[in-house]
Amino acid sequence: MLTTGIKGVKTVTVNETNTAAAMGSGELGVFATPAMLALMEACAAESVKPYLDADSSTVGISANIQHVAATPVGMTVTCESELVAIDGRKLVFKLTARDESGLIGEGTHERFIISKEKFVSKTYAKLNKQ
């Protein structure tokens, strides 16, 4: 059953593919903000997946994050998520990201529960409207 308090953890190692320079969000070889956001979204999504039926999934609808410290290539970043609110099909998560030296990012993220089939059908119907 989907209830507040569900927690998730997801870890990634900073490498050449997830740096600001590689992702085009900056010039330096440090963990990119878009990579941190992707880690946070994946952490939140994966934490609630076991509580959804087979035809359901979640999609991100908003994020309010701060990237407060840089992480060099070779270090590990661990995200922790907690489901803090449920409003109908909208889920609200509190997020933190840390490397071996401490906090590097934090914020909130909202996801919406969707029917996979209905969502994909509606999305691809846009192609017929052009």
| CATH of residue 72 | 3.10.129.10
- Global confidence as pTM: 0.96
Work out the pLDDT band at 75, boundaries 50, 70, 90. Answer: very high
Which of 11, 13, 16, 33 is an active site residue?
A: 33
Q: Is residue 18 part of a domain?
A: yes
Q: Is the pLDDT of residue 53 over 80?
A: yes
- Residue 107 in any domain: the answer is yes
Q: Please name every residue paired with 4 in a beta bridge, in sequence order, or none if there are none.
A: none
Q: Quote the number of domains for the chain.
A: 1
Q: Please, which pLDDT band fits residue 30 given cuts at 50, 70 and 90?
A: very high
DSSP designation for 31: B
Do the domain assignments include residue 42? yes
Q: Is residue 2 in some structural domain?
A: no
pLDDT tier for residue 97 given thresholds of 50, 70 and 90: very high
Identify the active-site residue in 4, 11, 13, 41.
41
Whether residue 1 lies inside any domain: the answer is: no
Looking at every residue in the chain, the average pLDDT score rounds to 97
Percent of the chain scored above 90 by pLDDT? Answer: 97
Is 67 a known active-site residue? yes
Cβ count near 3 (within 10 Å) = 8
DSSP 95-127: EEEEETTEEEEEEEEEEEEEEHHHHHHHHHGGG
**Cα–Cα distance measured from residue 109 to residue 113, given in angstroms and rounded to the nearest whole number:** 13
Q: Is 33 a catalytic residue?
A: yes
Structural domain span for residue 90: 7-129
User: HSE on the CB side for 43, CA within 13 Å?
Assistant: 29
**Residue 22 domain-assigned?**
yes
pLDDT greater than 80 at residue 130: no
The catalytically annotated residue of 19, 67, 71, 106 is 67
**17 labelled catalytic:** no
